Chain A
Amino acid sequence: MNCNVLIVDDSPVLRNAIAKVVRLAGVSKDQIFDAGNGTEALAILEKTPIDLVLLDLTMPVMDGEEFLHEVRRDQALVELKVVVVSTEVNEERLKRLRGLGVLEILRKPFQPEDLCHLITKLLGVTACAR
């Protein structure tokens, strides 16, 4: 799978755990990027073409919702695929996120297979060929 995936989560342990699942879905190690908050993620997006963002919401510095607002202001990133992976339960907030083009919301705790299937669904074999 020739796709670049960006994992945004303030927990290094979770980033590593999610990266393992992303690799299981067929993405190679050098195509997985990670960031501890929205600001770091924006810096990566400036330099690297990303096909899918796996985004936590509650983070220090810049949270996931602020990050999404920044992303959607950038014409080059309007179509960026984003999946929220979070404990978030506030329905109003989730509604706002869907309005910002979030494709799926995966609630923690999730089973690795759920995330693996989601990645495969969103990044089919040819989805990211460049």
Chain B
Amino acid sequence: MREMTTDALVRLTCAALERTAFLMAEPGDTPHGDPLPNAVRFSRIEYRGPERGEVLLAGSDGFVRKLAAGFLGDAPASIDSETVGADALRELSNIVAGSLVRELGGDRCPFAIGLPTACDVASLPLQPTALAILDVEGERLEVYWTRNASALFAA
């Protein structure tokens, strides 16, 4: 398996946002910038194969609205954050997980990706392998990647 860094996590998430939702992102919560709004919507997805792991996305309300609006070509204000926004976040977690396992395993990737599910703040990993905090046009997106040794899941 290849190694993944926080920079790589940022890169592939930015690419997913730009290609699917026309959203520009950059590393967020820098000392010189305004604090980003809190994350209030969460989605997680697992993958398995030569190793197992999980990607968890946490976004602010404004982020999920912008994300869904970008997918649909609509105005963010017209987006219902609880339904459409949450669905868009689940889809983004699916796309990020797909890009991540391709990064890990290359083009002949033997991984399988599960179904994304909504979760809550209690699901955030305490010690993720990598965490990317992104400023997406003034809104917050956090991407947690937790790599689990396959032995932990052997049963």
- Chain A interface residues (CB < 8 Å from chain B): 10-14, 16-17, 20, 58-60, 86-93, 107-111
Contacts and interface: CB of A to CB of B under 8 A. Distances in A.
Counting chain A CB atoms within 10 Å of each CB, the highest count among B19, B73, B84, B91 belongs to: B91
A14 B89 CA distance: 11
30 contacts: A11-B90, A11-B94, A12-B84, A13-B68, A13-B72, A13-B87, A14-B91, A16-B71, A17-B71, A17-B72, A20-B72, A20-B73, A58-B94, A87-B97, A87-B98, A87-B99, A89-B101, A89-B102, A89-B109, A90-B109, A90-B110, A90-B111, A90-B112, A91-B109, A91-B110, A107-B98, A108-B95, A108-B98, A109-B15, A109-B99
Contacts of A16: 71-72
| Range of interface residues on B (Cβ < 8 Å) | 20 to 34
B105 interface: yes
Contacts of A107: 98
Given A59-B115, A89-B109, A110-B19, 17 more contacts: A10-B115, A11-B88, A11-B90, A11-B94, A13-B68, A13-B88, A13-B91, A20-B72, A87-B97, A88-B98, A89-B113, A90-B111, A91-B109, A92-B110, A108-B16, A108-B20, A109-B16
Contacts of B68: 13
Q: Identify whether the interface residues of B are mostly helix, strand, loop, or mixed.
A: helix
B114 interface: yes
Q: Identify whether the interface residues of A are mostly helix, strand, loop, or mixed.
A: loop
Contacts of A87: 94-95, 97-99, 113
A83 to B, nearest CB: 17
